[in-house]
Amino acid sequence: MKLPIANDARDWSDDRHAMAYDNPQFWDGAHLQSELHRVFEICNGCRLCFNLCPSFDVLFRRIDALDPHREEAEGKHIESGRIVEEHEAGELLKHVKVSTENPVGLLQDADKERVVELCYECKLCFPKCPYVPPHEFAVDFPKLMLRAKMIGAREDGIAFRERFLGATDLVGSVMTKVAPLANAAAHNSFNRMLMEKTIGIARERQLPNYADESFLTWWSRRAPVPQNGSQPVALFATCFVNYNDPAIGKDAVSMLERAGCNVDCPEQVCCGMPKLDGGDLEGARKLARQNVETLLPAVREGRKIVSPGPSCTLVLRTEYPELVPTPEAREVAAAVMDLSDFLLHQARSKRLPKPPEGTLGKVAFHVACHNRV
């Protein structure tokens, strides 16, 4: 079976042009409401995503609860457990009210806001959906949820929690300086209660530890290694690897070099996903512009941009041409590959060193949602 490689991925940007950020209709609240109604109606008729996430669960439960004819549809208006004889069925059918009333129209603003709020942009519903563009229904549920968040942020301001979670570089660079203290504080129940009350991060939420030294600091003080590799790559470390788990980045560098790559790590900032998901379009655009500027020279040197974080890969590849609508952003986006895709590519070209016999054992590989997308 031929596995798809990253560069086979389709370019969604043309399909999504109708909902481009610079299209004034994107920001039209009345148009958003009619789109929510239209897409919720299609989803109600389809329900393929019923078990994917809390957004769909809440949406379908609310629609069912609001449906005035639900009991009739389920036959519950007939005495439960009683077998309906054929001669009775005709009589009962005379009393069935046929209604074209649509329960989606009964959803309140609070219901829609809850559906939007519960979407965590895993984007799994996109590849599952048979109605995505170019289908005439043009359903893009994750983008619609993002649009609702952005319009909300523009009207009401960006919530403090979203600002905090979006400031990954600022928070990460401070926390790595005081990592032992920060990590102890994150596990202290009194502090967690304070964080819940002030920032809005649930006290039960497990938080990742911060590293004593960021990956990029390690990279900057790493002794130069002879670059004998024939395949030039630039590593986009990602915030999680940079501030929380630099060992992933160090292993990635080691693996890439053993696979015959000449590795560089250009100046970089957060890809912008946390800001984007919090509705902060301008913040995400600013970061995207910075990364396009610093990654472009590496791309023009012929380097692939390789990232070990599927979410960051997805943003760089598919969101950047929309966030920064320039040929340079498209050039950078086209050069981005997820690390796993890249290594698969190297393996196919017989460039991966074989592990010593018998040392690897069984490996379970979790394909991340954003990798599937």
Residue 280 · residue 263 · CB < 8 Å = no
Of residues 9 and 122, the one with the C-beta less far from ligand SF4: 122
First to last CA, the chain: 19
Q: Please, what is the minimum distance in Å from the beta carbon of residue 291 to ligand SF4?
A: 23
Q: Please, what is the minimum distance in Å from the beta carbon of residue 30 to ligand SF4?
A: 22
Q: Please, what is the minimum distance in Å from the beta carbon of residue 130 to ligand SF4?
A: 6
Q: Please, what is the minimum distance in Å from the beta carbon of residue 36 to ligand SF4?
A: 12
Q: Please, what is the minimum distance in Å from the beta carbon of residue 286 to ligand SF4?
A: 24
Residue 346 · residue 354 · CB < 8 Å = no
Of residues 124 and 185, the one with the C-beta less far from ligand SF4: 124
Of residues 46 and 352, the one with the C-beta less far from ligand SF4: 46
Q: Please, what is the minimum distance in Å from the beta carbon of residue 242 to ligand SF4?
A: 25
Q: Please, what is the minimum distance in Å from the beta carbon of residue 106 to ligand SF4?
A: 19
Binding positions for ligand SF4, rule: CB under 6 A: 42-43, 46-49, 52-53, 55-56, 119-125, 128-129, 131, 139, 141-142, 145
Of residues 128 and 154, the one with the C-beta less far from ligand SF4: 128
Of residues 9 and 42, the one with the C-beta less far from ligand SF4: 42
Of residues 52 and 165, the one with the C-beta less far from ligand SF4: 52
Of residues 141 and 342, the one with the C-beta less far from ligand SF4: 141
